[in-house]
Amino acid sequence: MADKKATITCPGETAVELDVLQGTLGQDVIDIRSLGSKGVFTFDPGFTSTASCESKITFIDGDEGILLHRGYPIDQLATSSSYLEVSYILLYGEKPTQKEFEEFKTTVTRHTMIHEQITRLFHGFRRDSHPMAVLCGVTGALAAFYHDSLDVNNPRHREIAAFRLLSKMPTVAAMCYKYALGQPFIYPRNDLSYAGNFLHMMFATPCEEYVVNPVLERAMDRILILHADHEQNASTSTVRTAGSSGANPFACIAAGIASLWGPAHGGANEACLKMLEEINHKEHIPEFLRRAKDKNDSFRLMGFGHRVYKNYDPRATVMRETCHEVLQELGMKDDLLEVAMELEHIALHDPYFIERKLYPNVDFYSGIILKAMGIPSSMFTVIFAMARTVGWIAHWNEMHDDGIKIARPRQLYTGYAQRDFTSDLAK
Ligand code: CMC
């Protein structure tokens, strides 16, 4: 029994008493599940006031700018951990011992190759396809290769699917890039780190040796950590919704990739870099700010604002530091970074952005880092998807552990009332 109660009274009805649920952290939540059986539904497009599930994986305090994975602050994870260790923590709930980590790493490393037939699947795509379209298609197609023996109700089978996804996503992501370039696919190298292997598959060719730069390897690992999970965002909710019917996990992850692609979500990093290129010089910033504030202009300042953060996105703080480190290592002076820093400074002092609590988000700086590494902007969201895969699987798994209930929202119907049909077409 919950200690706190809330009551709701519909006109002409007796009041319904509802439990108020308390989490470990964050605000209390009114449990409205019993309303449906009383013929009452709530209306919340965009889920701005609705908790869609219970979860133990990630906590965000948007007002304070806090992000915790299994209780651990993101800045501590980004500076003192690795993407694979964070993946372990997200999937299993606790940090690994040395032995557990070695086993985990070995298993992930030993499953990086994909079925050879999938390499031929790529050739069905146009070379100029957006890599997100290819990633979505190929990830969905993995379901055709890993379906028959998979029982989603069996925790061990789900664990195997998790390993396959975590291991193979960098391979598929790098193949999307190589295919667009027309270069041969590079097989994974199991002697390299997760991030190092990805960079090698992206930039090596069969013609000469490619040595991974340790600063860039660390920066890539950090980018992966910062994108690993973010509780019930659009793509994670999509994965949960798709999975709630008992669907194949590779198909569910493909659904998450589709949702991530949009510019309001994971596509923002690509859109942000394009915007910075369009602004091009500090003197053009006021014009873009004017457009961002104009209600009649659909333009938004990409990399700014967040549904949950009403403070500086803690991931953006780490990303900003990494950005400076990478540019220093590469000896680059990036004009776009100057534009970005000036834009950030001006926006943070502008009443429009202050009143609406619009701060830079994770995508504001990630594009500049990836561009400096030589990665084209069309690949930015692919890298986001590769990093987020572990978060998606952790949520998909948690949903199955908690007992699956198919996601089936209701609606407020505002169409025609019933009317008779007679065809006006010639018979
Ligand atoms: N530029 C200009 N105005 C903005 C922006 C922006 N980037 N973001 C929000 N606003 C305004 C918006 O016009 C509205 O103003 P008003 O109250 O006068 O109508 C107010 O701020 C609230 O905006 P909203 O659309 O109700 O907020 P939301 O929570 O629905 O949207 C968002 C969140 C991330 C979609 C939005 O801030 C946005 O489109 N940002 C740009 C895209 C972006 O950077 N997305 C990456 C998010 S972080 C990565 C990830 O997790 O996917």
- Give me the DSSP letters along 36-70: GGGT-----GGGTT------SSEEEETTTTEEEET
Kindly report the protein residue whose alpha carbon is nearest to atom 16 of ligand 1. Answer: 356
Residue nearest to ligand 1 atom 25, measured at CA: 307
Pocket test for ligand 1, best of 50, 67, 306 (most atoms within 8 A of CB): 306
Whether the per-residue pLDDT at 331 is higher than 90: the answer is no
* Residue 306 known to be catalytic: yes
Q: Is 30 in the pocket of ligand 1 (CB under 6 A)?
A: no
- Nearest CA residue ID for atom 28, ligand 1: 307
Chain segment 124-154, per-residue pLDDT in tens: 999 999 999 999 999 999 999 987 778 999 9
**Which pLDDT tens digit goes with each residue over 262-271?**
999 998 888 8
Q: Is the per-residue pLDDT at 1 higher than 60?
A: no
Q: Residue of the nearest CA to atom 10 in ligand 1? A: 305
Mean predicted confidence (pLDDT) in 71-78: 97
Tokens 């400076």, residue?
Answer: 324
Check 111, 229, 363, 395 and give the catalytic one.
363
- Ligand 1 pocket test, pick from 231, 288, 312, 356 with the greatest ligand atom count within 8 Å of Cβ, gives 356
Closest listed residue to residue 361, CA positions, set 195, 246, 230: 230
The catalytic residue among 306, 313, 395, 400 is 306
350/357 Cα distance (integer angstroms): 11
Class of residue 334 by CB neighbours under 10 A (exposed 0-12, middle 13-18, buried 19+): middle
Residue 182's region, left for phi above 0, alpha for psi from -120 to 50, else beta, is left
CA–CA gap between residue 390 and residue 386 (Å, rounded): 8
301 CB within 6 A, ligand 1:
yes
Q: Whose CA is nearest to atom 52 of ligand 1?
A: 265
Whether residue 70 has its Cβ less than 6 Å from ligand 1:
no
Q: Is the CB of 388 under 6 A from ligand 1?
A: no
* Ligand 1 proximity of 397 Cβ (cutoff 6 Å): no
Structure confidence by residue, pLDDT tens digits, 345-378? 898 899 999 999 999 888 888 988 998 899 999 9
Does the active-site annotation cover 313?
Answer: no
Q: Provide, rounded to the nearest whole percent, the portion of the chain with pLDDT above 90.
A: 80
pLDDT over 60 at 61, yes or no: yes
pLDDT of 204-244, one tens digit each?
Answer: 999 988 999 999 999 999 999 999 999 999 999 999 999 99
C-alpha 358 – ligand 1 centre gap (Å):
7
pTM of the model: 0.92
At position 202, the amino acid (one-letter code) is M
Classify each residue of 236-260 as buried b or exposed e, where b means 16 or more C-beta atoms within 10 Å of its C-beta.
Answer: bbbbbbbbbeebbbbbbbbbbbbbb
Span 188-197, mean pLDDT? 97
| Residue 1 or 61, more confident | 61
- The answer to whether residue 2 scores a pLDDT higher than 70 is no
Which of these ranges, 1-10, 37-46, 154-163, 314-323, has the smallest mean pLDDT? Answer: 1-10
pLDDT averaged over every residue in the chain = 93
Predicted local distance difference test score (pLDDT) of residue 87: 98
Residue nearest to atom 21 of ligand 1 (CA): 356
The pLDDT of 109-135, averaged and rounded, is: 95
The pLDDT assigned to 39 comes to 82
